[in-house]
Structure 1
Amino acid sequence: MGENKMNLILNTWIFESAVKEGTTQTELVDRVAKLGVDGIEVRREYFTDTAQETKSVGEHAKQQGLIVNYSVPDEVFLEDGTINPKLKQYFDEGSVMGISKIKFNTGHFDRFTGDLKEAFEGLPLDQIEMNVENDQTPVSGTVKAIKTFLDAAHDAGLVQLGYVYDLGNWGFTHGDAVQSAKDLAKYTHYIHLKNTIDQDGTMVTSDDLNTGMFDWKDIISYLPHDVSFALEYPMKDDEQILEQIKVFRAGVGE
């Protein structure tokens, strides 16, 4: 399931311009392999033919020896508090790709009234690590929303469930990135790194880890180190990506 050492993953948002020009995530698997990292995080919204592409991503990743993680832009709990019936489908798609981790947003857990253990029955939580992320919304992007859900999940025996600490998103929600790291460290299985620039009150994602409102090296000192880290911000070319990989490795002392 999860990897118990530091790994570096490239999220395919990095290649946003190439995706817009028609590059598939299968092609990006091969490109990522040449960049000397441990894995790729594919984004569901970038698939145009999900059934065909999940199969080919899985095949290419296996050939290249890459970890695959899956980012799904959907909520665990729907607006009425019921569990999302599509979760099984998303796990099935992930299984085809041989993924290690799958990521969602929490959604409306505050309206959930059922039995948590029962709600997650049938999902392969021992084979695929399931995490929720702080997104850029008031519903799923607060410490309270994430901690309330994960406290309840662990109390129900769902100790496999964890958290993706997304640094850049705290800029968009005006959350306290350091306090959030301290509060959620025990649940953190995965860290998304991007920095955020405040342009006269408008938040934009930086294309350089060292440029922005966050001291990422300080913040990760409050988080586990034996986890996967993903770079997740658009970059213009492979030269810049390699430079940012160096920035990351220097910052974590590799």
Structure 2
Amino acid sequence: MTLILNTWIFEQAVAQGTSQVDLVNRVARLGADGIEVRREYFTDLPTETQAIHRAAQNTGLVVNYSVPDDLFTDTGQLNPKLPMYFAEGQAMGIRKIKFNTGHFDRFTGDLATALSRLPLDQIELNVENDQTAVSGTVPALKTFLEAVRQQTSANVGYVYDLGNWAFTHGDAQASAQALAPYTHYIHLKNTQAVAGKLVTTDDLDTGIYDWRHLLTYLPHDVDFALEYPMASDQQIAQQIQVFRQGVGD
């Protein structure tokens, strides 16, 4: 299995001016297999995407790309910004790109034709359960993913985001069982209630989820990502160890 570090982990460093280019080498030193860069963290996107590609080639890291946008617009159209996002991904040499599904429920076109406009022979498209009713429920996700399977041969998968199920009041285990056949990528983080408000914790073993048990319902031959802010490289290394021991790697 492949372990990715999502750059949300380094939220504090990014806020202080560290670029995602610099984080590539840091992720490599921590012993992960890859990095998932976040589009909202770029400050000079054309320059940084090229630099990330070079740094990843030098370190041998896999690069995945998280884009905070929807695959389908409010009117049900395929997002016109997708070619731009994929071009950014190509500049970085990414393996996977991730979106929210958006309003596939309003899509009325030909899905195979729509997706054929994207370079899915080079980059795998994934959708994630987010924290909304539109894109964060099993029926919404399964409807899209099943349509892709039935109507196209497109390279499309699903990102199971553990922590997000708490925010949509979903059943994490039932969701894992329902969506396992489509799961190509797993984002791990835990969640707990603090003063009546749900928050993401900085420790896989702190929170409402028994992540080890939940992983028994999901495939293991996929990319995994840790995705929660941590205070230090020492803590990140410790959490990597927790993950690797937990999955028997």
State the TM-score, normalizing by the size of structure 1: 0.97
1:111 and 2:106 aligned: yes
1:163 aligns with 2:152: no
- Aligned partners of 2:12 and 2:241: how far apart in 1? 22
Report the Cα distance in structure 2 between the residues aligned to 1:139 and 1:111, rounded to whole angstroms: 11
What code does the residue aligned with 1:205 have? T
Of all paired residues, the percent bearing the same amino acid is 66
Structure 2 residues not aligned, in runs of 5+ = none
Deviations 1:195-226 (A, max 9, x none): 00122431000100001000000001100000
Q: Distance in 2 between matches of 1:158 and 1:237?
A: 43
Corresponding position of 2:244: 249
Cα displacement (A) at 1:159: 4.4
**Secondary structure in structure 2 of the residue aligned to 1:9:** strand
* Structural RMSD (CA): 0.8
> Among residues 130, 136, 147, which one is paired with 2:131 in the alignment?
136
Q: How far apart, CA to CA, are the structure 2 residues paired with 1:220 and 1:99?
A: 25
Matching of residues 169-184 of structure 1 within 5 Å: 169-184=164-179
User: Which of 27, 33, 38 is matched with 1:43 structurally?
Assistant: 38
Verify: 1:148 aligned to 2:131, yes or no: no
2: CA distance, partners of 1:20 / 1:97: 22
Alignment of 1:22-33 (within 5 A): 22-33=17-28
- How many residue pairs match? The answer is 249
Q: Kindly indicate whether residue 216 of structure 2 is the aligned counterpart of residue 221 of structure 1.
A: yes
CA offsets per residue over residues 28-68 of structure 1, 9 Å max, x none? 00100100110000000000111111110111011110000
The residue number in structure 1 matching 2:71 is: 76
CA distance in 2: counterparts of 1:122 and 1:202, whole angstroms = 42
CA contact (8 A) 2:120 2:154 kept: no
Query: Normalized against structure 2, the TM-score is what?
Result: 0.99
Name the CA distance, whole Å, in 2 between partners of 1:226 and 1:244: 20
In structure 1, list runs of 5 or more residues that go unmatched. Answer: 1-5
Q: Match for 2:92 among 89, 97, 111?
A: 97
CA shift digits 1:114-158 (9 cap, x unpaired): 000111122111211110000011110111110000111111123
Q: Does structure 1 residue 208 correspond to structure 2 residue 189?
A: no
Q: CA deviation at 1:8?
A: 0.3
AA in 2 matched with 1:248? F
- SS of residue matched to 1:125: coil
Equivalent residues of 2:129, 2:141 under 8 A apart: yes
Q: Secondary structure at the match of 1:81?
A: coil
